[in-house]
Amino acid sequence: MRNAYESDIEDFLLEYAKRAPNKIIDLYTGSDTELRMLFIDACDKGVIRKKDGVYMYGETVGLGVTDDAVIIWLKEAGNKKVVEMIKRETYPEFYAKKKSGKEAE
């Protein structure tokens, strides 16, 4: 929807809100908003890609076939390391590289 008219986007959102009001409410009250934003940004930056109907991180890590399935996967404690790697690739500006002693001088 990046190149859509503002009125078309507004109409789409209003219709979506009528069909699924709980999703709109969850955007503001849900506990997984941070993970949803990470998922959207990672997809936009190509960190997470959809391949054969499955959202993938890299070539071997399947995350799920729907956005809700991916969020559930990201929430699982056993996937914490992969989530951190996705964050680092998606937001490299927040992870400053440590300088060695020679570079700091």
pLDDT per residue as tens digits for the range 49-104:
999 999 999 999 999 999 999 999 999 999 999 999 999 999 999 887 655 555 54
What is the C-alpha separation between 37 and 41, in angstroms, rounded?
6
- pLDDT for res 31: 81
What confidence category does residue 28 fall into, taking pLDDT thresholds of 50, 70 and 90? confident
> Distance between terminal CA atoms of the chain?
48
Q: Model pTM greater than 0.85?
A: no
- Geometric angle at alpha carbon 54, from 85 and 3, rounded to 5°: 85
> 62: which 2 tokens?
């399947």
What is the C-alpha separation between 28 and 24, in angstroms, rounded?
7
